[in-house]
């Protein structure tokens, strides 16, 4: 269940400390992660899921690397490429979160020029994530999801239409074979265990921190998969507490 607090900045830190202590009492060890934004009405979704970006993900993914090639020279995986794009605020299927509650608080209370004169309530979300489900750059799950932007938008759409097929039919479909080709550029020995559940999931990933922004913000990401509705399955990004400022 989600608990909602409305509180002052002064009251926030003691609650963070309390949540961290209580979370260690769970039978399954969980780690807390935080996300802050300046408008509590924002949807919890990756930037690429907003129109018109979603149907142009393939072009955005490739054009960013063409136009700013020197920025991507040290990116050796699709995840590293997406993280660099996120750094430059290019739409991706990554959702920023942080291990540092103060970073989330900053984004919840900071104001931008376009916000002046508006009455906005900032929000901090706290995610309690099972440590056994945290992934890294070389995870098979991460390789699958981070390869999705590298196949054409029409192939992703066709892949979703084939979710109703038997597992073997989906796994050996033309679209999944194209996805495999992308993945095997990173891992030549990657085995085809791709199935609907893997393509739809949302995974927390700790990337290699290869830029100063990620280091300063203690950044980690949710990387979002596909849903049957042509957008991200946001219901799979669940949070334990919501704080409104």
What is the spatial distance between Cα 61 and Cα 90, in angstroms, rounded to a whole number?
A: 9
Residue 190 in tokens:
């990657």
Could you tell me if 162 and 145 are in contact, meaning their C-beta atoms sit under 8 angstroms apart?
A: no
* Full-model pTM: 0.83
What is the mean predicted confidence (pLDDT) over 223-242? 61
Q: Would you state the pLDDT for residue 135?
A: 94
C-alpha pair distances (Å), 107 with each of 19, 70, 97, 102, 120: 20, 29, 11, 9, 13
Residue 42 in tokens:
């924002």
Range scoring the smallest mean pLDDT among 4-8, 26-30, 66-70, 220-224:
4-8
| pLDDT tens-place string over residues 76-125 | 999 999 999 998 899 999 999 998 888 888 888 886 655 666 777 888 88
Residue 63 in tokens:
């054009």
Q: Would you state the pLDDT for residue 238?
A: 62
pLDDT class of 196 with cuts at 50, 70, 90: very high
Q: Would you state the pLDDT for residue 21?
A: 39
Could you tell me if 161 and 227 are in contact, meaning their C-beta atoms sit under 8 angstroms apart?
A: no
What is the spatial distance between Cα 75 and Cα 72, in angstroms, rounded to a whole number?
A: 5
What is the mean predicted confidence (pLDDT) over 167-193? 95
Q: Would you state the pLDDT for residue 212?
A: 66
Opening angle at CA 18, ends 14 and 23, nearest 5: 150
Percent of the chain with pLDDT over 70: 76
- Using omega within 30 degrees of 0 as the cis cutoff, is the peptide bond preceding 73 cis? no
What is the spatial distance between Cα 53 and Cα 89, in angstroms, rounded to a whole number?
A: 13
What is the mean predicted confidence (pLDDT) over 67-82? 92
What is the spatial distance between Cα 42 and Cα 51, in angstroms, rounded to a whole number?
A: 15
Show the beta-strand stretches assigned E in the chain. 3-6, 30-37, 94-98, 123-130, 135-136, 202-206, 219-224, 241-244
Dihedral angle at the C-alpha atoms of 126, 32, 236, 43, nearest 10 degrees? 30
Q: Would you state the pLDDT for residue 121?
A: 82
What is the mean predicted confidence (pLDDT) over 192-202? 92
Q: Give the list of residues 6+ apart from residue 55 with CB closer than 8 angstroms, or none.
A: 153
Q: Give the list of residues 6+ apart from residue 232 with CB closer than 8 angstroms, or none.
A: 45, 46, 49, 93, 202, 224, 225, 226
Q: Give the list of residues 6+ apart from residue 69 with CB closer than 8 angstroms, or none.
A: none
For all residues of the chain together, what is the average pLDDT? Answer: 82
Q: Would you state the pLDDT for residue 118?
A: 72
Neighbouring-strand partners of residue 87: none
pLDDT class of 4 with cuts at 50, 70, 90: very low
């Amino acid at each position: 269940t989600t608990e909602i607090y409305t509180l002052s900045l002064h009251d926030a830190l003691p609650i963070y400390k309390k949540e961290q202590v209580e979370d260690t009492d769970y039978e399954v060890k969980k780690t807390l992660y935080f996300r802050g934004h300046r408008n509590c009405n924002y949807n919890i979704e990756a930037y690429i899921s907003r129109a018109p970006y979603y149907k142009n993900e393939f072009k955005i993914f490739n054009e960013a690397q063409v136009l700013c090639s020197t920025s991507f020279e040290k990116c050796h995986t699709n995840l590293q490429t997406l993280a660099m794009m996120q750094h430059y605020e290019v739409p991706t299927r990554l959702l920023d979160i942080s291990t540092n509650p103060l970073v989330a608080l900053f984004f919840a209370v900071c104001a931008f020029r376009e916000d002046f004169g508006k009455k906005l309530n900032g929000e901090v979300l706290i995610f309690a994530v099972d440590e056994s489900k945290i992934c890294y750059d070389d995870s098979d799950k991460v390789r699958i999801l981070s390869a999705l932007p590298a196949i054409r938008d029409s192939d992703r759409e066709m892949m979703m239409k084939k979710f109703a097929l038997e597992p073997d039919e989906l796994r050996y479909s033309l679209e999944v074979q194209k996805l495999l080709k992308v993945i095997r550029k990173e891992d030549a020995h990657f085995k085809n265990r791709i199935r609907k559940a893997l393509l739809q999931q949302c995974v927390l990933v700790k990337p290699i921190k290869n830029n100063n922004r990620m280091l300063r913000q203690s950044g980690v990401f949710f990387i979002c998969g596909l849903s049957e509705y042509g957008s991200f399955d946001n219901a799979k990004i669940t949070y334990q507490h919501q704080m409104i400022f």
